[in-house]
Amino acid sequence: MSEKKSYMNQTNLITEGFFDSLLKIFKVFPNLKKNNNVKKKIEKDIKNLNSDISSLEKMMNDEMKQYGSNKKIKLTNLKLKDFIKGV
């Protein structure tokens, strides 16, 4: 029997997604690890993203509290090394 092709296969989802576009960016700019100006801009953008994540987390926790749930949602903060390997 032939193996049925699944569109929900994890390897297919990962290869078609967000991380491929990030990888393409860093392949185009391989000297990004050495360039401090670009690194500072990315760190600033990550800081803004983390503040947006924390405000989203706060809104979600407020919604959970309105529905009577005591569970807290904790989202992880991102770091530069999450996007650039070897930094």
Reply yes or no on whether the pLDDT at 14 is more than 80. no
What is the Cα–Cα distance from 28 to 12, expressed in whole angstroms?
Answer: 23
Domain boundaries, the chain: 31-87
- Does the structure show a pLDDT above 70 at 87? no
Separation of alpha carbons 33 and 43, rounded Å: 12
pLDDT in tens, 22-61: 666 666 555 555 667 778 888 899 999 999 999 999 999 9
Q: Indicate whether this model's pTM tops 0.75.
A: no
pLDDT for 13 beyond 90? no
Question: Of residues 5 and 50, which shows the higher confidence score?
Answer: 50
pLDDT at 62: 93
Q: Give alpha helix (H) positions in 1-87.
A: 10-15, 18-28, 36-66
- Tokens matching residue 22: 């990030």
Residues with Cβ within 8 Å of residue 24, at least 6 apart in sequence: none
